Amino acid sequence: MAHDRDAFVEQFGSVLGRLAQWLREHAKTFSRAFVTVRESGLLFVVLRDNAGFDPDFEDELTDLDLEIAQNPRFDHIDLNVLSLPRSSKTAYSSFLHPEYTWVFQHGK
C-alpha cells in the first residue's frame, strides 16, 4: 500500500510537469488550467481564450490524454481532460473540487 502511494506521488509530480510543458506549448490558446480531484480520478481542465470551437486544439488535447493514459510510467494516474470555452468563474468552478485543485496560470 505504501509503495502504491509513493508511486502515485512520484507519477503525479511527473504528470504535472508534462501538463505544464503542454500548456507552455499552447500558451496562446488558454487563459487558465486546472488539475482537480473527481470521483473517478483526476481531471485536467483547460479554460480556452475564446468561446469558439477549435478542432485542432481539441485534437491536441486528446493526443495529450492518450499519451498519458497509454504511458506505463503513469499507471497509477487516472486522468481525464476537458476543454472549456472562455467562461465565468461560476461556470468553470462547477467542474473543480472546492479544496483539491491545482491552478496553472501564465502571463500574456
**Domain count for the chain:** 1
Question: Residue 89: which domain range?
Answer: 2-105
Which sign, positive or negative, has the C-alpha torsion 8, 103, 33, 82? positive
- The amino acid occupying position 9 is V
- 4-25 pLDDT, tens per residue? 889 899 999 999 999 999 999 9
* Cβ partners under 8 Å of residue 98, min gap 6: none
- 57-106 pLDDT, tens per residue? 999 999 999 999 999 999 999 999 999 998 899 999 999 999 999 999 76
Residue 65 maps to which CATH number?
3.30.300
Q: Say if residue 107's pLDDT is above 70.
A: no
- 23-57 pLDDT, tens per residue? 999 999 898 999 999 988 999 999 998 888 889 99
